[in-house]
Amino acid sequence: MENKKQIIEIADIFRDKKHDFLTENTLCAVQQKAMEDIIACRTSELGGHTLSCNHCGHKVQSYNSCRNRNCPKCQYIKRMQWVPSAKKFFVPVKVLSTVFRGILCRLLQESVFRKEIKLPDDTPDFQTIKAKCYAKKWVVYAEKPFASPDNLVRYLGNYTHRVAISNHRMVGYKDDKVTFSYRDNKAGGARKTMTLETMEFIRRFMQHVLPCGFSKIRYFGFMAICKRKTKLNLCYSLLPTPTYFSRLTGLLAMEVLQIISGKDPIICAKCKKGKLMVSPACNVLHMEPG
């Protein structure tokens, strides 16, 4: 059987030092669950199934994911799905300019009513002034993203769908020390390595575990989840430009992998001809690693 994995994983460190760390440190329930889920992720503890090639009979053992949002293995696909889907929230600058004009006039009106802004005696009532303001063509300056809207969304995606440190940054684990790579922005983005005591590495990781109920992204107004089906669709229908919809929306993880990698994950890696199919007889809850 084949079950490829990275040589060094955060789960291996947690599994090796969990008892020692918990002896010296106290974790809250969310941190405790995150550690246990990361250790169990894609192991026999969460169950799994065997994929068999329908051409050559080659077998690949596959285990279930923990789906914990603090797990370094379970966030990549979610990030790849969110980044293109977030582009549907892009609104043309002209639309934002109109919204800005309305908000500014409303704030000015509220300030006048609260007598925070005093108009000259010979000035007509504010409604007349407001009508004149709306009649004029406003010039609203909107700062462009440093690179492009697409790059901005990708940049946000790196923070909204990632954990403290990913497995691909792990360099070494030896003599009770953990070595990992990082990018030093002070040195022009040069890639460097850092070595920490294992207990300190785990402690720092646990500090990044999000509390229960914490929301990374909050949507408001017509983008609020409860109004998307009505308000957001109405906005789309009123826009002069076509609306962008991600081709990854609603797809399965395997389908997303195929699109972003250009390779079909269910094609047998051995014979390159057959497809990997779930073997019903081997679809068990607990399996020993092969």
| Residue 105: inside a domain | yes
- Asked if 249 and 228 count as a contact pair (C-beta separation under 8 A), the reply is no
pLDDT of the residue at 134: 80
pLDDT of the residue at 232: 74
DSSP state of 234: H
| Residue 288: inside a domain | no
pLDDT of the residue at 242: 63
| Residue span of the structural domain in which 129 resides | 93-135
| Residue 29: inside a domain | no
pLDDT of the residue at 288: 44
Residue 246: closest CA among 84, 48, 55, 31:
84
Give the contacts of 210 (CB within 8 A, at least 6 positions apart): 30, 69, 70, 216
Q: What are phi and psi of 148, to 5 degrees?
A: -160, 165
| Residue 123: inside a domain | yes
| Residue 230: inside a domain | no
| Residue 250: inside a domain | no
pLDDT of the residue at 185: 86
Residue 205: closest CA among 150, 252, 167:
167
Structural domains in the chain (count): 1
User: How many angstroms separate the CA atoms of 276 and 126, rounded?
Assistant: 71
| Residue 112: inside a domain | yes
Whether the CA torsion 215, 217, 222, 228 is positive or negative: it is: negative
| Residue 122: inside a domain | yes
pLDDT tens-place values along the chain, 290 residues long? 444 455 789 999 999 999 999 999 999 999 999 999 999 999 989 988 888 999 998 988 888 889 898 998 887 767 666 665 555 666 666 666 777 788 888 888 888 888 888 888 777 788 888 888 888 887 777 676 666 666 777 777 677 777 889 898 999 999 999 999 999 988 888 999 999 999 999 999 999 998 988 888 787 777 777 877 788 778 777 777 666 555 656 666 666 666 666 778 788 889 988 988 887 655 554 444 43
